Amino acid sequence: MPLARSLSMTSLNGLPQWEDEDLPVEDLLLFEVSWEVTNKVGGIYTVIQTKTKITADEWGENYFLIGPYFEHNVKTQVEACEPPNPAVKKAMDTIKGQGCQVFFGRWLIEGSPYVLLFNIGSAAWNLDKWKGEFWDVSNIGIPFHDREANDAVIFGSLTAWFLKELSCQFDGKPNIIAHFHEWQAGVGLILSRSQKLPVATIFTTHATLLGRYLCAASIDFYNNLDQFDIDKEAGERQIYHRYCMERASVHCAHVFTTVSEITAIEAEHMLKRNPDVVTPNGLNIKKFSAIHEFQNLHSMYKARIQEFIRGHFYGHLDFNLENTLFFFIAGRYEFSNKGADMFLEALSRLNFLLRVHKNDVTVVVFFIMPAKTNNFNVETLKGQAVRKQLWDTAQSVKEKFGKKLYNALLRGEIPDLNKILDRDDITIMKRAIFSTQRHCLPPVTTHNMVDDGNDPILNTIRRIGLFNNRTDRVKVILHPEFLSSTSPLLPLDYEEFVRGCHLGVFPSYYEPWGYTPAECTVMGIPSVTTNLSGFGCFMQDHVADPAAYGIYIVDRRFRSPDESCNQLTQILYGFCQQSRRQRIIQRNRTERLSDLLDWRYLGRVRAEAKDIVVFALLTLRAIQKACVSVNTGIPLPILHACQTLGPQQNIP
C-alpha cells in the first residue's frame, strides 16, 4: 500500500513519535460507505463505479464497499462469495446472529471490489431503538414520515455496529479507515465517533442539501451565500433534520472533502466548515478510449440519429440532414438547476439569429431528462413506422431496377431509364409519398407526459413558440426517459448517442461537479458548461483557453441571467458557423483533454485525503501508546458539532 508506506512517523500535535514500531500497513482496511453502492440513484454511483479500479489496485484485498441491499440490484450486479478477511467475516456473523441480513460478494464492475450490503428491511424492527440512541448522542430527531431519513438511520446504525464489531477484533488498535459519502451514510460516521471507535473517518459531500433546494427555488444563491438564515431556510423546506444529519457528519469527520472549489465555497457557508481537501471527480478513461476511432464512431452514431430524425420529421423533412447539427442536454430533471430554462431561452434567440441571417444550418436539440410518462407518443411511433415503410419500398423498387439494369447490360444495351420503371413501380412510389403527408407538426416530445400542462420544459416551449415549424431553424425533441439500445424509437445507449451528437449543452446553475460535460470531453465531443459547475471551474484552472479545446464556459456567477443567456446564444451561434473541417479539428483537440479527467491523474488528490486519515490513525495509536483516552485525540467532539445546529424543537 504505497500511499501509507510513504508517510513519515513524525509526531503530530506534540504526540509521541513512533521510533520502535512501524505502522502495520498490511492490516489497514479501507471501507467506502454510500447509499449508491450497487444502487444507481444519482451521480455518486458514477463516482464510485469509475474509481473502484484504481482504489482496488492500490488497496487490494483490504478495500471494501458498504451499501444497502436491494434484491433486484444484487441479482444483476453482484456475485456472492466468502469474505477473504476472517475479521470481516466474524463481524458479519455477529450481526447475522442478531437477526439482521448481511450480504457479501464482488461487485461486477471493473476492479471487482468486495461489497458488504445491509438489508434495511431485515433490521427495521430496531428503528425506534436506534432513533432513540441517535437522539441521545446528537439531539437530532427523525420524523416518522420521512422514510429516506429513517432508512438512513437504519443503514448508519448497521454500519457503526459492523465497524464496532470489527474494531474489537484488533484489540482497539486503529486499523480502519472509513470513507462516507453524503448525508444518507453520515449517521454511521456520527455514531462511530460518539462510540469512540478507533476508526479514522472521511466525509465527502457531493452537493449540500440546502444548496440544492435553494437553487431550485430560483434564488440568487451564490451572491447571497453569507446572508441566508440557515436554520430558517432548512426548516421552511421541511429538511431541517436532514440538514442536521449532514452538518453533524461534516463536523465529526477527521477529514472533510468536497468535489469542487465552488462546492467548497458553498460548504463553508451552508455547513460551516472549510473542506480539508478538494477531490475532483474523474472517469475511467479506458472505458471510453477509442484511439484514432472516435471520429469514425461519431460518423456511425450520427447516421443512427439521422435515421430517427427522418422518421420523427416525416412530411416536414425539408432540411438537409448533412447540414444539421445535433445538440443535447441530459441529466436529472431539475429545470433551473440544470440550466434547461436558460438553454431554452438561448435556443429561441438562436432560432431568431439563424432565420434573420438566412443561415442554411438546422439545429435539432434533444432534452434527455427523465420524467413521468404514459408510454410512447403514438405520433412518434407512427413516424418510425412510416420511415421503415418508405425504406422497404425503396429497397423493393431498387431490387427490381437492379435486375433490369443487370439484364440489359448483359445484352450489351444501355436501358432507357424512362422505361426501366414500369407503371406498378411508379404507383408504389406515389403511394409511399402520399403516406408521408402529415396534417400536424412533428411532436416536441416522444412520450405522453403524465402532467404536460404543468411540465416546465413544455410550458417554456409553448411560451417561446418552438413547435418544430418548417420555418424554424431550431427543432426541439424532449425524450423524457433514459436512452436504451432496446428502445423502439431511438435504439442507442447514452454513450453511443453522445458520440453521435455535435455539442453537449449544460448551462447549469447548480452543479457541484458535472459528469455530463466530462463524459463529452473524453469522447471527443465539445460541450458548454458554466463557472458555477465544478467541471467548469476545474477546466478554467487547468486549461489556458478552454474554448479552443471545445469547452465553452458561460459566466453565470458574475453576470445577470440575461447577459449569461446572450453569452450562451453567441456560443451556440458561433458553433453553428463552424465548417465541418473546423468541427473535426475541434473534436480532436477536445479528446486530448481526456487524460486530465482520468482517475489515475485525479486519484493523486484523493490520495492526499487518505494520507491525512492515515496520519489520524497514527495519532490515535500514539495516544493509546501514551495511555491517554482515545477521545482526547479526536477533534471536534460529536456533542460540540451538534450543539452548533440551533434549536432542535424546530424539527418538523
Residue 26: predicted pLDDT: 66
pLDDT of residue 174: 75
pLDDT of residue 618: 61
Please give the mean pLDDT across all residues of the chain: 86
pLDDT band at 25 (very low <50, low <70, confident <90, very high): low
Sorted by sequence, the CB contacts under 8 Å of residue 217 that are 6+ apart come out as none
Which whole number is the average pLDDT over 173-177? 82
Whether 552 has a pLDDT exceeding 90, the answer reads yes
Q: Which of 323, 182, 316 is nearest to 253 (CA)?
A: 182
Q: What is the pLDDT of residues 499-544, one digit of tens each?
A: 999 999 999 999 998 889 999 999 999 999 999 999 999 999 989 9
Nearest to 186 by CA among 104, 269, 243, 121: 243
Segment 158-164 mean pLDDT = 97
- Residue 376's alpha-carbon distances to 135, 326, 384, 467, in angstroms, are 48, 22, 12, 19
pLDDT at position 419: 75
| pLDDT mean over 27-51 | 89
What is the percent of the chain where pLDDT is above 90?
A: 62
The pLDDT assigned to 408 comes to 85
If one compares 15 and 61, the residue with the highest pLDDT of the two is 61
25-284+599-650 topology per CATH: Rossmann fold (3.40.50)
- Note the pLDDT of residue 6: 32
Which pLDDT score, from 0 to 100, does residue 104 have? 97
Which residue type does 307 have?
E
Residue in the block written with cell 411540465: 455
Most confident region among 231-240, 397-406, 643-652 by mean pLDDT: 231-240
Closest CA to 185 of 202, 166, 164: 202
Copy the grid coordinates of residue 364.
Answer: 435539432
pLDDT value for 61: 92
User: What pLDDT, on the 0 to 100 scale, is given for residue 604?
Assistant: 60
| Buried residues in 426-463 as b, exposed as e (16+ CB within 10 A) | eebbeebeeeeeeeeebbbbbbbbeebeebebbebbee
Residues 6+ apart with CB under 8 A from 308: 384, 489, 490
C-alpha cell at 320: 438537409
Q: Write down the pLDDT at residue 290.
A: 62
Whether the CB-CB separation of 368 and 478 falls below 8 Å is answered with: no
- pLDDT at residue 368 tops 60: yes
- Output the pLDDT for position 647: 35
542/532 Cα distance (integer angstroms): 16
Sheet holding 176-181, edge to edge: 78-80, 102-107, 114-118, 63-68, 29-33, 176-181, 199-205, 255-258, 277-278
Helix axes 240-252, 209-216, angle to 10 degrees: 140
> What integer pLDDT is reported at residue 59 of this predicted model?
86
The whole-number pLDDT of residue 594 equals 86
pLDDT interval class at 43 (50, 70, 90): confident
638 confidence band (pLDDT: 50, 70, 90): very low
pLDDT digits (tens, 9 = 90+) for 76-108: 999 999 999 999 999 999 999 999 999 999 999
Q: Which residue has the higher pLDDT, 26 or 336?
A: 336
Instruction: For CA atoms 598, 601, 606, 611, give the dihedral sign.
Output: positive
Give pLDDT, residue 626. Answer: 52
Residue 381: partners with Cβ closer than 8 Å, 6 or more residues away:
488, 489
How far, in Å, CA of 134 to CA of 590, rounded?
49
DSSP state string for 476-540: EEEE-S--BTT-SS-B--HHHHHHH-SEEE---SSBSS-HHHHHHHHTT--EEEETTBHHHHHHH
What's the rounded Cα separation, in Å, for the pair 346 and 563? Answer: 11
Q: pLDDT tens for residues 412-457? A: 888 877 777 778 888 888 888 887 888 889 999 999 999 999 999 9
Tens digits of residue pLDDT in 206-230: 999 999 999 988 788 998 899 999 9
**Averaged pLDDT for residues 178-185:** 95
Q: Looking at domain 286-377+443-596, what is its CATH homologous superfamily? A: Glycogen Phosphorylase B; (3.40.50.2000)
Please say whether the beta carbons of 117 and 103 come within 8 A.
yes
**Per-residue pLDDT tens over the stretch 281-317:** 877 666 566 656 888 899 999 999 999 999 999 989 9
Who wins on pLDDT, 200 or 27? 200
Give residue 421's pLDDT: 79
List pLDDT tens digits, range 587-631: 999 988 888 887 777 656 555 555 666 666 666 665 555 544 333
When comparing pLDDT for 206 and 279, which is higher? 206
What span, in angstroms and rounded, lies between the C-alpha atoms of 185 and 609?
18
pLDDT the model gives residue 293: 82
pLDDT digits (tens, 9 = 90+) for 465-495: 999 999 999 999 999 998 999 998 999 999 9
The reported pLDDT for the residue numbered 418 is 74
Task: Give pLDDT, residue 20.
Answer: 35
